[in-house]
Amino acid sequence: MFRWFFFKKNIAVHSETMRREFAQMLESAHRVMFLSCGAFLRLQDAETVKSEVFTLDKQINKAERAIRKELFLKSVVNHNFLPFTFMLMSVVKDAERLGDIAKNFYDLAVEGEAPSDGMKDQMNSLYEVLLTDTKLCCEIFVNDDKEAAKELIYRTSELEDTCDEQIQWYLQKRQNAETADVVYVLALRYFKRYAAHLRNITSAVVQPLHKIDFTGKIVKKYREENC
């Protein structure tokens, strides 16, 4: 989907700045995840990273508003921009949500206890996977890599399912429930939502405008061909 727009000369010439701004949003979200979830896992000191976390969040929000404004102005004077506007409006919101969800881990770091040793291993694994996938999402977007996009869509979908299974396990616990379980459920929910927004962004590389965010068939086909 991106390539169709960016190789149309009248669109490509005027969209490069927005492409860079969007890529920077993803890089900033990656940094917020690194700092906030790192603090939750006690890999970072919460108080030390607080200022940078909230500064980056403001920068992401500012970039979203700037891109929206630029898209609106360009689409008014050039109707060829309208499909591109609809597409980027969709994914830029997902990028903004990445920052918000990543920042939620900071609240868990401040208000919740550190994960126990067994749970920390699982949380750390999800953390490392999503950090890697955020970087990959940015590369896929910049390079319009459709095959890598399909793989990432599949992996993030699988991660969402894994988080759902774990959440259901905690919710169905009837005995020996601990306050820490609430923290784990919230963390798993945040991991799931973060993965979902990465999937939505990546879908714009391989899906037509009206199918952005809808990836069930892609996941099914990828599983049949590769698993």
pLDDT of residue 44: 92
Q: Is the pLDDT of residue 134 over 70?
A: yes
Tell me, what's the pLDDT at 12? 47
Q: pLDDT confidence of 88, banded at 50, 70, 90?
A: confident
Choose the weakest-confidence range: 30-39, 159-168, 205-214, 216-225: 205-214
Does the structure show a pLDDT above 70 at 76?
A: yes
Cα distance between residue 80 and residue 82, in whole Å: 6
Asked whether the predicted pLDDT for residue 39 surpasses 50, the reply is yes
Query: Is residue 163 scored above 80 in pLDDT?
Result: yes
pLDDT tens readout for residues 1-34:
555 444 444 544 457 788 889 999 999 999 999 9
What string of H, E and C letters represents the secondary structure of the chain?
Answer: CHHHHHCCHHHHHHHHHHHHHHHHHHHHHHHHHHHHHHHHCCCCCHHHHHHHHHHHHHHHHHHHHHHHHHHHHHHHHCHHHHHHHHHHHHHHHHHHHHHHHHHHHHHHHHHCCCCCHHHHHHHHHHHHHHHHHHHHHHHHHHHCCHHHHHHHHHHHHHHHHHHHHHHHHHHCCCCCCCHHHHHHHHHHHHHHHHHHHHHHHHHHHHCCHHHCCCCHHHHHHHHHHHC
Banded pLDDT at 80 (limits 50, 70, 90): confident
Please tell me the distance from the alpha carbon of residue 135 to that of residue 189, in angstroms, as a whole number: 21
pLDDT band per the 50, 70, 90 thresholds, residue 115: confident
**What percent of the chain stands above pLDDT 70?**
90
- Verdict on whether the full-model pTM lies above 0.75: yes
Give me the CATH topology for the region 2-226.
Methane Monooxygenase Hydroxylase; Chain G, domain 1 (1.20.58)
Please say if the pLDDT value at position 193 is more than 60.
Answer: yes
Per residue in 172-184, pLDDT (tens digit) is 765 555 666 888 9
Domain ranges of the chain: 2-226
pLDDT of residue 179: 64
What is residue 7's predicted lDDT score, i.e. its pLDDT?
43
Query: In the numeric block, which tokens belong to residue 195?
Result: 């993965």
* pLDDT surpasses 70 at 85: yes
Q: Residue 142 has what pLDDT?
A: 83
pLDDT of 66 strictly over 50: yes
